[in-house]
Amino acid sequence: MDNVSVTESIGELPHGRPPQTEFDTGLDYPRLGSVTFRRGTLTENQQALFDEWWPRLGVVLENTEDEQHIDYDEWFGRAGHPTVVEIGSGTGTSTSAMAPLEADTNVIAVELYKPGLAKLLGSVVRGGIENIRMVRGDGVEVLARMIAPESLDGVRIFFPDPWPKARHHKRRIIQSGTLNLIATRLKPGGVLHVATDHADYAEWIDELVNVEPMLEYKGWPWENAPILTNRQVITKFEGKGLDKEHVIREYLWEKKNE
């Protein structure tokens, strides 16, 4: 394989639509449907940085139904540290701002959009941030196939796509099935943190706060939360929402001990 082919393959999603896990819980899950993944392009400097650092700091969800459980201790090069997964990290603005404040925590950022991951990677490298790793893939599939049951101390979903049209509501990531899946991946006492500035989506979430028996809804704020819940900085999408005077709603759940 020549150098060009190697470069192009780094961080690229496998060809074809990835397998979608078939859940047998009878609950609702977001389905990818006919969504087209945005490819995007990297600048020359971003590509060079990506080529150098992605093999160590990032992985791609493989196009297989087999489990691909991440060994956190091996990947982060340290043992016994709490681990948090952020689903839909975007350009990583809040991810890179929060990580230095929780240096004892392993942070795994999950995102489909390669330019967003490239921006986060740049922040990680330039800032010398050592506790962030990245996965390129669909959030639900990463949780289902790459994250071992009861292995996480936290899951974050900040400003997920609201899919505002009624016919697209089934694509929203916050569903009864997703909440169940997250609950199975959290350790007892683990925390789920969701934020949205979309009023209709907030109403949707309001209807689901108590739907998952394994999660206890804690509301917002929760002073005794065992993980960092102050997002520190305004994300790009949050900033756009504030410009339009949107109200930001935040939600916290705790995985029950029983």
Which residues is 110 bridged to in the sheet?
Answer: 87, 135
Reduce the DSSP state of residue 175 to 3 states and report it: coil
CATH architecture of 83-223+230-255: 3-Layer(aba) Sandwich (3.40)
Closest CA to 134 of 151, 145, 122: 122
Give the C-alpha separation, 191 to 154, whole Å: 5
Share of the chain above pLDDT 90, in %: 75
Share of the chain above pLDDT 70, in %: 88
Report whether pLDDT(236) > 60. Answer: no
Q: For residue 223, give every residue at least 6 positions away whose Cβ sits within 8 Å of its Cβ, in sequence order, or none.
A: none
The answer to whether the annotation marks 24 as part of a ligand binding site is no
pLDDT interval class at 235 (50, 70, 90): low
Closest CA to 226 of 195, 168, 187: 187
The answer to whether the annotation marks 86 as part of a ligand binding site is yes
Higher pLDDT, 149 or 11: 149
Catalytic site includes residue 104: no
Strands of 152-158's sheet in order across = 58-60, 132-136, 106-111, 83-87, 152-158, 186-196, 249-255, 215-217
Give the C-alpha separation, 86 to 68, whole Å: 18
The answer to whether the annotation marks 141 as part of a ligand binding site is no
Q: Which of 2, 51, 104, 161 is catalytic?
A: 161
The answer to whether the annotation marks 111 as part of a ligand binding site is yes
Report whether pLDDT(111) > 70. Answer: yes
